[in-house]
A = this chain, B = another copy of it.
Amino acid sequence: MTQREYALNNQISEEMKIVAKDEYMNENTVVERLKKGTIAIVKNKNRKIKALAVGEGLSTKINANLGTSPNASNIDFELEKMEVALKYGADAIMDLSTGGNIVEIRRQLLDKCSVALGTVPLYEAGHEAIKKGKKMHELSVEEILDIIKRQAIEGVDFMTLHAGLTSATLKRYNHTERLAGCVSRGGAIMLEWMHTNNKQNPFFEHFDDILDVLREYDVTISLGDGMRPGCLADSTDRLQIDELITLGELTERAWAKGVQVMIEGPGHIPFNEIETNMIIEKKLCKNAPFYVLGPLVTDIAPGYDHITGAIGATLAATTGADFLCYVTPAEHLRLPTLSDVKEGVIAFKIAAHAADIATGYTNAIERDHKMSAFRKALDWKGQFETALDKEKCLEYRKDTPDDVECCTMCGEFCSMKRDSDTIKK
């Protein structure tokens, strides 16, 4: 049984108990929200990990994307990136490998990953096509669906499936103007397959069969947004919202089969459209957990998209998003390095935490109060222990002479010190 099915049977699983305890939530509330689908507890039933709990009333979680590409593939490097992501607080990992021995990479990541691991099975499909000397559209429906089954058996906890791209989407796409077009890798593979074969999306056509597989292993379906806007100009357009309507319908079908669901969201969205995007997802998809990529609030900052993304993500998570996919400084430029992964995770931890404070999540602000008390006391050790990144703090502090009680920014002009020493002594 899936976590959803346990809940529907009014059974409280171990996973639910842990979530309830960790998140200051009544166990019955966890059960009720699993029933409604507003919470997902993401964990393949064959995996021994800390489940990823996302949704209504839970703290905001973040995901770090890893993975090789045809131009760069090295298993050890993937494992190192995963370590960095976990060290700085990623709540989930996605393996988006498209190059090298991707089955073995996934096997090793699954083996060593202590949190939920997700994939985009179409990437393995595309990779397999290349290996077999085929074009991607030459893959058979069976070959594609088989990959989902194999990955479910292997233990993948959640899968992005672009099931909302239908023949109707493709038709609408062909007569709708877009600046960046289709920027989803999985979405583009699927549209090419549908376009070239003149056939319906197999994920859509065989949705019930896929659900049976996912249900068996309690794999959470992350309904992909193949039509997500890849630039501000394409945001919140008909293609995006049309796909979201279909994702809402698919959500109800998945729930009816006992399968847990997340909805994937954009992308590139102007800051003033973000709240609308959160509300419309919650409405059209019956409050299914929303998993967003950024969103990036401007297109002009390659090299800094961890910042453009963290800005959008903070507003998104404050107004409805449950799960944030990080963006690294390498976005739009290259595969991320270890340092890119670190920068991305920290930027999104900031966004998630700032949003949890904004929505009043229980005790979220306590760490800030602790930090501020250390600041006021000029207790540098205490500050650094409380900080998101102790090492960077130490690095920045290292040139300060030992006899400087404050920091080199203010020296004896330190307001904290003056305040304590004189004004409010």
Which residues of chain B are within 8 angstroms of A307 by Cβ–Cβ distance? 306-307, 310, 346-347, 350
Contact status B334-A409, CB under 8 Å: yes
Query: With the chains together, A335 CA to B192 CA distance in Å?
Result: 53
Fill in one digit per residue for A278-305: 1 if any B CB lies within 8 Å of its CB, else 0: 0000000000000000000111111110
Assuming the contacts A411-B69, A422-B195, asked whether A311 and B310 have C-beta atoms less than 8 A apart, the reply is yes
Which residues of chain B are within 8 angstroms of A346 by Cβ–Cβ distance? 301, 304, 307
- Chain A residues 160 to 209 lying within 8 A of chain B, measured CB to CB, are 173-174, 179-185, 187-189, 191-192, 195-196
Assuming the contacts A188-B419, A271-B357, A408-B71, asked whether A413 and B123 have C-beta atoms less than 8 A apart, the reply is yes
Q: Closest CB of chain B to A301's CB: distance in Å?
A: 5
Our pick among B336, B367, B372, B420 for the contact of A179 (Cβ within 8 Å) is B372
Nearest chain B residue, comparing its CB with the CB of A355: B271
Asked if A412 is at the interface (CB within 8 A of a chain B CB), the reply is yes
Asked if A20 is at the interface (CB within 8 A of a chain B CB), the reply is no
Contact status A126-B419, CB under 8 Å: no
Query: With the chains together, A308 CA to B389 CA distance in Å?
Result: 14
Query: With the chains together, A270 CA to B318 CA distance in Å?
Result: 11
- Chain A residues 301 to 325 lying within 8 A of chain B, measured CB to CB, are 301-304, 306-308, 310-311, 314-315, 318
Q: Closest CB of chain B to A133's CB: distance in Å?
A: 14
Fill in one digit per residue for A364-375: 1 if any B CB lies within 8 Å of its CB, else 0: 010111011101
Contact status B367-A300, CB under 8 Å: yes
Asked if A103 is at the interface (CB within 8 A of a chain B CB), the reply is no
Contact status A412-B70, CB under 8 Å: yes
Contact status A354-B180, CB under 8 Å: no
- Chain A residues 54 to 91 lying within 8 A of chain B, measured CB to CB, are 69-72
Contact status A270-B419, CB under 8 Å: no
Contact status A358-B270, CB under 8 Å: yes
Contact status A183-B416, CB under 8 Å: yes
Our pick among B183, B400, B420 for the contact of A415 (Cβ within 8 Å) is B183
Q: Closest CB of chain B to A119's CB: distance in Å?
A: 14
Q: Closest CB of chain B to A423's CB: distance in Å?
A: 5
Fill in one digit per residue for A402-425: 1 if any B CB lies within 8 Å of its CB, else 0: 001001111111111011101110
Asked if A99 is at the interface (CB within 8 A of a chain B CB), the reply is yes
Which residues of chain B are within 8 angstroms of A424 by Cβ–Cβ distance? 173-174, 181
Contact status A401-B71, CB under 8 Å: yes
Nearest chain B residue, comparing its CB with the CB of A403: B71
Asked if A147 is at the interface (CB within 8 A of a chain B CB), the reply is no
Nearest chain B residue, comparing its CB with the CB of A318: B271
Our pick among B303, B393, B419 for the contact of A181 (Cβ within 8 Å) is B419
Assuming the contacts A182-B415, A188-B418, asked whether A299 and B407 have C-beta atoms less than 8 A apart, the reply is no
Our pick among B272, B304, B360, B416 for the contact of A347 (Cβ within 8 Å) is B304
Query: With the chains together, A285 CA to B271 CA distance in Å?
Result: 26
Q: Closest CB of chain B to A242's CB: distance in Å?
A: 16
Nearest chain B residue, comparing its CB with the CB of A334: B408
Contact status A369-B179, CB under 8 Å: yes
Binding site for B on A (CB under 8 A): 69-72, 98-99, 123, 126, 130, 173-174, 179-185, 187-189, 191-192, 195-196, 230-233, 270-272, 297-304, 306-308, 310-311, 314-315, 318, 329-336, 346-347, 350-351, 353-355, 357-360, 365, 367-369, 371-373, 375-376, 383-384, 386-389, 392-393, 396-397, 399-401, 404, 407-416, 418-420, 422-424
- State the 8 A-B residue pairs at the shortest beta-carbon distance, nearest first: A231-B372, A303-B392, A70-B411, A188-B415, A272-B358, A271-B358, A297-B354, A299-B368
CB<8 Å pairs between A and B, sample of 16: A70-B413, A71-B401, A173-B423, A179-B369, A181-B423, A188-B418, A192-B422, A270-B365, A297-B358, A299-B375, A302-B396, A303-B392, A303-B396, A304-B346, A311-B350, A329-B396
Given contacts A304-B392, A333-B396, 13 further A-B contacts (CB under 8 A): A174-B424, A181-B419, A185-B414, A189-B413, A230-B375, A230-B415, A231-B375, A232-B368, A299-B369, A302-B396, A307-B307, A329-B392, A333-B393
